[in-house]
Amino acid sequence: MAGRIRDEDVALVRERSPIAEVVGEYLQLRNAGGGSLKGLCPFHDEKSPSFNVTPSRGLFYCFGCGEGGDVIAFVQKIEHLSFVEAVENLARGAGIQLRYEQGGYVPRNEQGQRQRLLEAHQAAAAFYAEQLLTPQAQEARRFLSERGFTRADAEHFGVGYAPAGWEALTTYLRGKGFTDKEIILGGLASQGRRGPYDKFRNRLVWPVREVTGEVVGFGARKLDPDDDGPKYLNTQETPLFKKSHLLYGLDLAKREISRQRQAVIVEGYTDVMACHLAGVTTAVATCGTSFGSEHMKILRRMLLGRSEFGGEVVFTFDGDAAGQKAALRAFAEEHGFTSETFVAVQPDGLDPCDLRIQQGDGAVRDLIAAKKPLYEFVIRSAIQGHNLDTPEGRMAAFEAAAPIVASIRHEGVRKFYGLNLDKWTGLMDERFVLRRVHQLARGVRDGDRRQAAPVRPSRPDHDASSYDLRDPSLQRERLALKLAVQYPSLALEFDRLDAETFTVPQHRAMVELIRAQGGVAAADDPAQWSLRLREAAPNEVQREFVTQLAVEPIEVYGEVDERYANEILGTIKIHSINRRVTNLKSRLGRLDPITEAEDYQRVFSELMAVEQQKRQMRERTVGDT
């Protein structure tokens, strides 16, 4: 087994893996002020951004679900990797050769499993791309040419050819040092009675990439009509390939999706190619599965969802019954997008690839521009098939479509489509239609309320009963801790405070942690200070609390400076003294000055000393207690 990665190499990986860039590969980040960035959390579903990244300290934290940490922890969580695998993943992207405590450089066959599988897929993608240029790939090249794709287009999308032989790729990968076990585990080959055989044979092949650009699987189309296999064949579920979390073309489209605030969902690999080449560079496709909630979450993070009506998701479907069925499936998942969702259907049933072949690039762009709201498409689909020339038919159409309108959550949008439903069915009775929709909607809402209410994740760092952020005293203490973590050079007065100055156990534990690291005066590198505190924290609870303090914004007018820091810290000290004064006066009041003269005099002297300390503090501190 490989030894432990050297600490200096881990530190170098952190240094050369800017957290904003790494996180930005998975979600759209926007400036949140104070040197922080904000986006939609990739670890839980949300519509208002609560995921914060602080590049200067190399940390992230979600105030919605509590996930947080450094760039390595982010990759661990989002890719479901071990610590070593996450470091190796980042090292590869940063061009760093890792060293291990035992045995120097780690041999290739001892690297992390994920790293090995990624390298195998990269090698397979290169192999397939080379094979597309061989004489045996003539039919594959003809297929591309007939659909308007050039050699340069194939290279841009990484399209390749899987040879007809049973072991062409397997033999190639063995020569590159990969084991049969790795080749099979990655879904590149299947286990036969006589050994592994290639998963894809005599097929045109598209590499499927993660949003970061790493190849994790393939989609393949058969070229021989006599082949009894499926027309399209995709990599099965593997440690790398999770089809419910993958969108083909997202690595190429992600920046334009964020810039244009639009995502176009098409049905196939050639449709993605056609759209991009026609100028619709926000197109992506699912990989052998229906569009689902996980795909939705990925796109919402790219679009950011800054408002309920922000951004567009456009589905393209064939105009046939299957296309309408696909639209209905999308509608079932639609509530994550609310009224941002559209449908683009070509009346003659042409998909984007065929449309481009027959009518050119402009027709593809026009198709997307002519999109209709998904609500309208689904409501009109429900009305179709009813005879609107008779009262019975109009009523039947209304009863079919009214529940769809009632399911719209936004009240204003629901009323808008209610009025349209009255027109589209020809009932011509707006009051009746809206009343019926309202009745149905109320039933939907009541049903929602009867379901179990979502439980907000509990804070692991404290008992909610003793940690109420509405408490002004607790807010002040938390602010003082944030200053000590984020601006140690401005908060040198913090080292004059002792743990008992703070009122809750979590805060006192934080003071002890800072003191154990030499106090804020020992924070010679402010950018590394919070990371140092995280690593020194004795448990996961305290590590999370350090992360919160490091990324939580400090709300202040103007800049955080030494005067502001001293004012806050002085106020904390004064409030601590006030508590001591109150406690001492209470004790003094319970003592008899005659029968308990000695204790009375001791407490009285202590009270006078604290009062003197309070007067001195008032002279040094700007602010009102």
Backbone angles phi, psi at 484, to 5 degrees: -65, -30
Q: Collect the ranges in the chain with pLDDT lower than 70.
A: 1-3, 102-111, 304-310, 318-339, 444-467, 557-558, 616-625
Are the C-beta atoms of residues 45 and 124 closer than 8 Å to each other?
Answer: no
- E strand segments, 193-285: 195-198, 203-209, 215-222, 232-234, 262-266, 283-285
Report which DSSP code applies to 191. E
Cβ contact 246:287 at 8 Å: yes
The Cα–Cα gap between 617 and 612 comes to 9
Q: Are 44 and 64 in contact (CB under 8 A)?
A: yes
Q: Are 289 and 235 in contact (CB under 8 A)?
A: no
| Sign of the dihedral defined by the CA atoms of residues 467, 472, 473, 474, in that order | positive
Q: How far apart are CA 343 and CA 315, in angstroms?
A: 5
Which residue is listed with tokens 């005067």?
563
What tokens does 226 get? 């006599």
Asked whether 482 and 521 are in contact (CB, 8 A), the reply is no
Q: How far is CA 601 from CA 65, 580, 592, 594, in A?
A: 53, 17, 10, 10
57: nearest Cα among 88, 86, 14, 7: 14
Residue 34 — left, alpha, or beta (φ > 0 → left; ψ -120 to 50 → alpha)? Answer: left
Q: Is the distance from CB of 550 to CB of 59 less than 8 angstroms?
A: yes
pLDDT reported for residue 330: 64
Residues 424-479 pLDDT 10s = 998 888 999 999 999 998 875 555 544 433 333 334 344 444 567 777 778 889 99
pLDDT digits 0-9 by tens, 203-249: 999 999 998 889 999 999 999 988 888 999 999 999 999 998 999 99
Instruction: Say which amino acid occupies 457.
Output: P
Cβ atoms 268, 351 nearer than 8 A:
yes
The residues facing 205 across adjacent strands are: 160, 220
Q: What is the pTM of this model?
A: 0.67
Q: CA separation (Å) from 354 to 189, 203, 223, 248, 263?
A: 32, 20, 18, 19, 20
pLDDT on residue 270: 96
Q: What is the pLDDT of residue 619?
A: 63
* pLDDT digit string, tens, across residues 118-155: 999 999 999 999 999 999 999 999 999 999 999 999 99
Backbone angles phi, psi at 29, to 5 degrees: -110, 140
